[in-house]
Amino acid sequence: MRTMQPSVTIGSYIGAQDRLPADEFELRLAELRAAMERQSWPAVLVYGDVRDHSALAYLSNFIPRVRWGMALLPRSGDPRLLCAMSTRDLPAMRGLTWITDVRSGMGPEWPKAFDPWCKSLKADQPAELGTLGFDLMAPVLFQAVRRSLGQSFTLRRAEDVLAVPPERKRPRELTMLRASCKLAETAANTFVASWRNSGAPEAAALDAERLARSLAAQDVRTLVSLDGGRTFTPYAGRFEKTAGPLVGYLAVKLAGYWADVFVTAEETPSPAARHAADALDTLIAAVKPGARSGDLFTVAAEALAPYPLHPALSGIVGHGTGLSLDEPPAFRAESQSELVEDGVYTLQVGIADAEAGNALVSAIVRNAPAGVEVLLRSPTVIPGLSEARSPESITPALK
């Protein structure tokens, strides 16, 4: 679900070295260095900004709080990290990455930080450098890179030969995702409880965000519906009360890893809420290694029949999640991507119908070899069915 990007990020940005130590990144870099060897690249340049930094965070653990960052990763030799910060901010930035050589890339600092490092690659003839995340880069910065490289290097998209971050999650990533899902679950329950007390969806979303930030969330995104679940709006501070149902969306980022969830709550469950919950059960049960994303879309569509998919989902019933809210693959009708073992996916279904009502529900699952591990599910919306809707009723939770 796409939401508005905050203009100021105010969350908890600290290095989680106890959970993601330096040796984790050595393991992550191994596959990238193997790709450099195959492609004869002396280095890969990895860019990320405050909006999207999944590849940069995966390889360097650096998450830009403002502007951008770029990791310069050689096939052999010492890496360097450039960030769009003044030199006085560098001590704080060094605590966010395992890379020890962190420098400012702002203005006059750029040629002093970038040019000597490139010369240290000592290419005897024009060579290729791989790039990750350069599709996000502003033209003015890209031009600075090209000027510094001159005729010595050309650039090639590394995304064409290697997926970074990989769809299959590493064990420590799974630990991080479980933590972010737990935080999202706690915030979603607060969302529902606050709405039951106030009747104001925006006030409830604000309470959920406040709680998530108090528990060290780096970022929080919310959307609410003020028309009973037909459409969504970002926070506007109107604090209008609604008779129900509460239909909203919440996403939290913890130490770089995202978890998101739809919330549907109402005093008297509508047919749409019941039917959507059943369809989500059916979709979860169909997840397994090798399942095709397009086939899962068909499973969801058939389970939702006779109702069409809620238009807010834009024809998608799931996608990968992790260091980005919207990782591949997208579960749409024409997609034929195969789900991988230990992939983590957000599943989303919903109904918008004038008679049945409006509802959106979701789950985050790990595609485990022994069965689906449900990491997060929308808060129970149907009284009396909390036990039937628990993750344990679908498959045993995996430790």
- Report strand pairing: 80-83 vs 371-377: unpaired
Task: Give the pLDDT of residue 378.
Answer: 95
Structure tokens at 69: 């960052």
d(CA 313, CA 160): 28
Closest to 349 measured CA to CA, from 283, 250, 270, 254? 283
Q: What is the pLDDT of residue 63?
A: 92
34 CB-near residues (< 8 Å, 6+ apart): none
| Residue-level length of the chain | 399
348-359 per-position pLDDT tens digit: 999 999 999 999
pLDDT at 57 over 80: yes
CA distance 120 to 358: 60
- Determine how β-strand 43-49 pairs with β-strand 68-74: antiparallel
Mind spelling out the 3-state secondary structure of the chain?
A: CCCCCCCCCCCCCCCCCCCCCHHHHHHHHHHHHHHHHHHCCCEEEEEEECCCCHHHHHHHCCCCCCCEEEEEEECCCCCEEEECCCHHHHHHHHCCCCCCCEEECCCCHHHHHHHHHHHCCCCCCCEEEEEECHHHCCHHHHHHHHHHHCCCEEEEEHHHCCCCCCCECCHHHHHHHHHHHHHHHHHHHHHHHHHHHHCCHHHHHHHHHHHHHHCCCCEEEEEECCCCCCCCECCCCCCCCCCCCEEEEEEEEECCEEEEEEEEECCCCCHHHHHHHHHHHHHHHHCCCCCEHHHHHHHHHHHHCCCCCCHHHCCCCEEECCCCCCEEEECCCCCCCECCCCEEEEEEEEEEECCCEEEEEEEEEEEECCEEEEEEECCCCCCCCCCCCCHHHCCCCCC
What's residue 279's pLDDT?
97
Strand partners, 70: 47, 82
176: which 2 tokens? 């991080």
| Chain Cα centroid distance, residue 90 | 26
**What distance in Å separates the CA atoms of residue 120 and residue 116, rounded to the nearest whole number?**
6
Predicted local confidence at residue 316, as pLDDT: 97
Q: What does the pLDDT read at residue 6?
A: 59
Record the pTM.
0.90
Share of the chain above pLDDT 70, in %: 91
Mind listing the pLDDT tens digit for each residue in 226-278?
999 999 999 888 888 988 789 999 999 999 999 999 999 987 889 999 999 99
- Please give the angle made by the CA atoms of 202, 207 and 213, to the nearest 5 degrees: 125
Q: What pLDDT was estimated at residue 94?
A: 87
Q: What is the tens place of the pLDDT at every residue in 194-204?
A: 999 999 999 99
Beta bridge partners of 73: 44
Taking the C-alpha atoms of residue 376 and residue 183, their distance in angstroms, rounded to an integer, is: 10
First-to-last alpha carbon distance for the chain, in angstroms, is: 28
- 358: region left, alpha or beta (phi > 0 left; psi from -120 to 50 alpha): beta
| Spatial separation of the C-alpha atoms in residues 192 and 181, rounded to whole Å | 17
